[in-house]
Amino acid sequence: MSIDIKAVADAADFIVDGYAYTKDGGTVHVLNLNKPAAVWLTIDGSVLASNTDAIETQIIVDIYEKNKSFLEDDHAEILSV
């Protein structure tokens, strides 16, 4: 199964350090855009599932904690280049 990286990136709520964070109901799907690895988080940042090592999972959670306010609807903003 191949992942359409562009589609994932386009649908992401935010991207930081190559990780695309996408809110889906009560969970957040995180995909490493540079290699096939993913983490599923609850909205509060708890890890539900991961196919990354413990260090990468912690990096993903730390990035999420610093940026999760961008998932709130009133903070949504589209930037174009």
The reported pLDDT for the residue numbered 73 is 61
The structure tokens listed for 80 are 């174009």
Higher-confidence position of 2 and 56: 56
pLDDT tens readout for residues 59-75: 999 999 999 888 776 55
Euclidean distance between the first and the last CA atom of the chain, given in angstroms as a whole number: 32
DSSP string, 31-75: EETTTTEEEEEETTS-EEEESS-HHHHHHHHHHHHHHGGGGSGGG
* Cβ-contact 42, 48 below 8 angstroms: yes
The alpha carbon of residue 70 and the mean position of all alpha carbons in its chain are separated, in whole angstroms, by 11
Indicate the pLDDT class of residue 25, thresholds 50, 70 and 90.
confident
Average pLDDT over residues 44-67: 95
pLDDT at 45 over 60: yes
